[in-house]
Amino acid sequence: MEKRTIGSLDVTVVGLGCNNFGTRLDQKATTNVVRAALDAGVNFFDTADIYGGTKSEVMLGKALGKRRRDVVIATKFGMPIDDTHFGAKPSYVRAACEDSLRRLGTDHIDLYQLHYPDQTVPIGDTLAALQGLIAEGKVREIGCSNMSAVQLKEAKIAAGTRAAFASVQNQYSLLAREPEHDGVLETCEELHLGFLPFYPLANGLLTGKIRPGEPPPQGTRLASMPSDRSAHWLSVELQQRVATLLEYAEEIGVPLLTLAYSWLLSHRQLSSVIAGASTPEQIRANAAAAVTLDDAVIAKLNELSA
């Protein structure tokens, strides 16, 4: 499988998002998905301390076992685990890292990401703590998530001559193209940041399995999602856009899943597409979805999803 870079890290263009581990999947199912990913050539696994109520990291570490040395693990900190475990103060950065290392069963984290900006802490203080973890060999590269172009530039200045963020993870898909318009993709180019899209398949809308006007199939994330959250994804506007994309996919004989993955990867700023999977079949389908699209197809997708 093709690889791209995040700083010094070489990651496969298809990664595995691990937010299902500890919620929809138990340890056995998690191990099956992880092994299928490894067999498909995937080397990039993205999790977070809050996923699965801290269980995701534990389950990923157990599933990888001796294959830990063969993969790149990304995890995140900062979102509230409880009333006391959250934020980006230097003392918490170090404590959160130690907790993640223990849960993952490893001596280092390849990509350690600030999950959400903490407006109460100067970004320079957070970066200093992360730079200390790099100096100690506990972290290889650092990244961030949910940050604007302005915040990324401020963080770059604050990092000075020491290690800076190597990646940013924001929402991006055929149904959510904000990074093209809010300056984030342009800033990634300017600062040499790898971009990692979350919700790359729009919570399943771009898999081709959810048909507009029909209820989400049982077992899908949308089917089990609370109505206050699913209302956005099942809105008339998004359903109409999905219908248009499905019609085009059927017209050219290319699965919508393939179009969704490969359109994202046509952007040189992207390092990897890290969609989740709840079965081995899903991760195998994701791994096979990364292909090179013709310029005409990319142009048409841009038009249809504008």
Cα 68 to Cα 46, 65, 103, distances in angstroms: 13, 6, 13
Instruction: Give the separation between CA 62 and CA 278, rounded to whole angstroms.
Output: 17
The DSSP code for 201 is T
Smallest CA-to-CA distance from 16 within 69, 75, 58, 66 is with: 75
Residue with tokens 């077992």: 219
Q: Look up residue 88 and give its DSSP letter.
A: -
193 Cβ contact list (under 8 Å, min separation 6): 152, 165, 166, 167, 168, 187, 269
Quick check: is 199 catalytic?
A: no
Q: Give the residue from 301, 179, 178 showing the smallest Cα distance to 241.
A: 301
Q: How many CB atoms lie within 10 A of CB 190?
A: 13
Choosing from 51, 92, 172, 261, the catalytic residue is: 51
What amino acid positions are annotated as catalytic residues? 51
